[in-house]
């Protein structure tokens, strides 16, 4: 028997969803390399195993409960069917439901991973695992239901093409709460309030991570059409995605030269990522020219947000907050300004902008509330933060009993790294005990 046109269309769409899903899956490597490069050598094993287990945990809990809460039939707040994928229809959005589920799983894994960088270098491993379970099971899927699963924000007309709010804002708000409740790394801030730069161990590794993420974003955004037949839309989304990221890089490198006199690679990296996060929500609704403006504004926000978070003593080792939180919010709002027909700047009035702002506030309220409760419970049960001694010696040895570069790293437990004296360590440990009491 010959293949019908309908069957051919389904096959093309299925391959499109799967292949772009594979690209989003591959972004986990990008996150891992970027974060490993931007932290110190003594904590690399720790960050890499977190990235592995983020996706592994999401794979199980999103099958058990996450997908049901996000896409199950239910009410305006959460789904109540499809537990353990039971009762799912044969197809969803024109592709086999399992293909659709896999694509959505990769997004869930990405949302959880965003937090790893923000809380790096001082978080207990068991605490992070507990966080990862809850965000993939509960926190992320609820937001997804509101916006993508037919919930109350979707019913009001909120738009988020590929996840500036659903993915990046969720990860960003959770990262903010985590970093605030953990407190800064030892040595990050001086007594006068000034910040010290704690330099990552490998910019080449971080740069590899950037390129992997950039490539993965061409699955993240164009794949969200869920159809290989939408050739014009997919091409437009890809071009818009690239335009915003390229402009973000140029904006940040120029700003770094103006502000510091140096062409900063780290800020250039952040600029690319800021542009990518910012364009994720509007990429299917805006022009190339608007994408360039969105990327430039997002990178500017990112650049100055780095200094802002230092001033308020929020220690974010890899820039998760300026990139994902700030630009997740900006990308969501930008739809209300730059949408080709509904945007304020294109004669659409304030209607779409007001809905987008409501979405920002709703997501912030939900994630801040649930993440605060989650981290509070973890802090008062298994504990959030490793001891001062373990932090100074490195989580690789303390939590995992191994080093990423054993030939080049001092790993004797009695050695205190980073120039801290035994007396300083003793003072820190006494302060820790007093706090616990």
Q: What is the DSSP string of 256-307?
A: HHHHHSS--HHHHHHHHHHHHHHHHTTTTTS-HHHHHHHHHHHHHHHHHHHH
Distance CA 64, CA 86 (A): 9
Using CA atoms of 197, 203, 205, 207 in order, give the dihedral in degrees to the nearest 10: 110
Report pTM: 0.94
CA dihedral 391, 392, 397, 402 (to 10 degrees): 120
Q: pLDDT at position 433, please?
A: 61
Q: How far is CA 402 from CA 44, 119, 389, 394, in A?
A: 10, 20, 16, 10
Which class for 52: exposed (0-12), middle (13-18), buried (19 or more C-beta within 10 A)? exposed
- What local confidence, expressed as pLDDT, does residue 421 receive? 54
Tokens for 107, please give them. Answer: 């997004």
Candidates 91, 107, 25, 63; CA nearest to 227 is 91
CA distance 73 to 349: 33
pLDDT at 426: 65
Query: Token pair of 161, please?
Result: 């093409």
Distance set, CA 17 to CA 1, 21, 163, 310, 434 (Å): 26, 6, 16, 40, 54
Residue 414: per-residue pLDDT: 41
Residue 425: the pLDDT is 62
Question: Which DSSP string corresponds to 286-300?
Answer: S-HHHHHHHHHHHHH
Is 158 in contact with 308 (CB distance < 8 Å)? no
Q: At residue 74, what are phi and psi to the nearest 5 degrees?
A: -170, -115
Q: Give the pLDDT confidence score for residue 434 in this predicted structure.
A: 52
Q: Show the tokens assigned to 421.
A: 């004296």
Distance CA 204, CA 98 (A): 37
Decide: residue 160, CB within 10 A, 0-12 exposed, 13-18 middle, 19+ buried.
buried
Check: CB of residue 228 under 8 Å from CB of residue 218. Answer: no
In the block, tokens 């006068």 appear at 192
The Cα–Cα gap between 316 and 159 comes to 29
Angle, helix 326-338 to helix 288-311, in steps of 10 degrees: 150
CATH architecture of 5-379: Orthogonal Bundle (1.10)
Give span(s): CATH 1.10.3430.10, the chain. 5-379
- pLDDT tens track, the chain, 437 positions: 688 999 999 999 999 999 999 999 999 999 999 999 999 999 999 999 999 999 999 999 999 999 999 999 999 999 999 999 999 999 999 999 999 999 999 999 999 999 999 999 999 999 999 999 999 999 999 999 999 999 999 999 999 999 999 999 999 999 999 999 999 999 999 999 999 999 999 999 999 999 999 999 999 999 999 999 999 999 999 999 999 999 999 999 999 999 999 999 999 999 999 999 999 999 999 999 999 999 999 999 999 999 999 999 999 999 999 999 999 999 999 999 999 999 999 999 999 999 999 999 999 999 999 999 999 999 999 999 999 999 999 999 999 999 898 876 554 444 444 555 555 666 666 655 654 54
Instruction: Locate 8 and state its tokens.
Output: 């051919």
**What six digits make up the tokens of 92?**
């969803």
């Amino acid at each position: 028997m010959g293949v019908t046109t309908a069957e051919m269309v389904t096959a093309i769409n299925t391959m499109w969803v799967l292949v772009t899903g594979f690209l989003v899956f591959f972004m986990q490597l990008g996150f891992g390399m970027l974060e490993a490069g931007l932290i110190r050598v003594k904590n690399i094993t720790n960050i890499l195993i977190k990235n592995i287990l983020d996706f592994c945990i999401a794979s199980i809990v999103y099958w058990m409960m996450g997908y049901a809460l996000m896409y199950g039939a239910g009410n305006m707040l959460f789904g109540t069917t499809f537990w353990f994928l039971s009762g799912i229809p044969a197809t969803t959005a024109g592709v086999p439901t399992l293909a659709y589920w896999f694509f959505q799983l990769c997004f869930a894994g990405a949302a959880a991973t965003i937090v790893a960088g923000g809380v790096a270098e001082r978080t207990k491993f068991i605490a992070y695992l507990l966080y990862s379970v809850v965000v993939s099971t509960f926190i992320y899927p609820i937001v997804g239901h509101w916006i993508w699963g037919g919930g109350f924000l979707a019913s009001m007309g909120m738009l988020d093409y590929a996840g500036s709010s659903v993915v990046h804002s969720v990860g960003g708000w959770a990262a903010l709460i985590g970093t605030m409740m953990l407190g800064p790394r030892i040595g990050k801030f001086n007594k006068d309030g000034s910040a010290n730069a704690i330099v990552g161990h490998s910019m080449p590794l971080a740069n590899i991570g950037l390129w992997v993420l950039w490539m993965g974003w061409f699955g993240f955004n164009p794949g969200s059409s869920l159809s290989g037949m939408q050739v014009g839309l997919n091409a437009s989304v890809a071009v818009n995605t690239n335009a915003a990221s390229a402009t973000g890089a140029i904006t940040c490198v120029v700003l770094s030269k103006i502000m510091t006199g140096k062409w900063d690679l780290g800020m250039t990296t952040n600029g690319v990522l800021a542009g990518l996060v910012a364009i994720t929500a509007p990429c299917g609704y805006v022009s190339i020219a608007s994408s360039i403006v969105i990327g430039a504004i997002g990178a500017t926000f990112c650049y100055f947000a780095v200094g802002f978070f230092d001033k308020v003593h929020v220690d974010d080792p890899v820039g998760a907050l300026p990139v994902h939180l700030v630009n997740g919010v900006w990308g969501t709002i930008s739809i209300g300004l730059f949408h080709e027909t509904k945007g304020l700047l294109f004669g659409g009035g304030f209607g779409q902008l007001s809905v987008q702002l409501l979405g920002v506030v709703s997501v912030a309220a939900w994630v801040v509330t649930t993440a605060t409760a989650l981290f509070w419970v973890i802090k008062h049960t298994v504990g959030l933060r490793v001891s001062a001694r373990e932090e100074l010696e490195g989580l690789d040895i303390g939590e995992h009993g191994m080093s990423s570069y054993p030939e080049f790293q001092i790993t004797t437990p009695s050695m205190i790294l980073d120039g801290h004296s035994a007396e300083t360590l003793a003072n820190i440990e006494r302060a820790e005990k007093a706090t616990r009491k």
